[in-house]
A and B are shown apart, each in its own frame.
Chain A
């Protein structure tokens, strides 16, 4: 399912470089730019 403009992003969890999870909602409260990479370098 694709997130639509204006809709809540919902529960999203990423992994920090040390492997521990981080929830997207913990970063909210201000505008957030998410940049999805094609490659690291």
Chain B
């Protein structure tokens, strides 16, 4: 996300990152690892449910693509350090809301390695000309 954040801001769009961790845990994480974008909490996962984001299971984790995804992350120095008791089965997703509050793009992850590419996200954020005019930003 950090890789395309500046591109997103440059096109006049914005990012909101949502975690199901409690606010205090997010605050501790941000104190240790500041992020350029806002991170908010949905500890009851109401929006996870509203956007159709489900959970995975052990079988889902043992898929070759998921194992390869996490091996690559670990080769780059990443290791999971979530709190004890964290829900490791919860999946994530990426969604674009248009300026009027309507859902214009949805990608609920099907497994732990399933994320849309950066170009797909940037394309989803680009407004059609008529909406761009409404948002006050010229194309």
Residues of A within 8 A of B (CB): 1-10, 12, 14-19, 22, 24-25, 27-41
Contact = CB atoms under 8 A, between A and B. Distances in A.
B92 A36 contact: yes
> Per DSSP, are chain A's interface residues mostly helix, strand or loop, or mixed?
loop
Contacts, number: 161
Interface of B: 1, 8, 11-21, 23-27, 29-30, 33, 38-43, 47-53, 80-82, 86, 88, 90-106, 109, 112, 121, 124-127, 135, 137
Contacts of B82: 39-41
Contact of A31 (B49, B93, B97): B97
Given A9-B101, A12-B47, A31-B127, A36 B26 contact: no
Contacts of A8: 100-103
A28 to B, nearest CB: 5
A14 B41 contact: yes
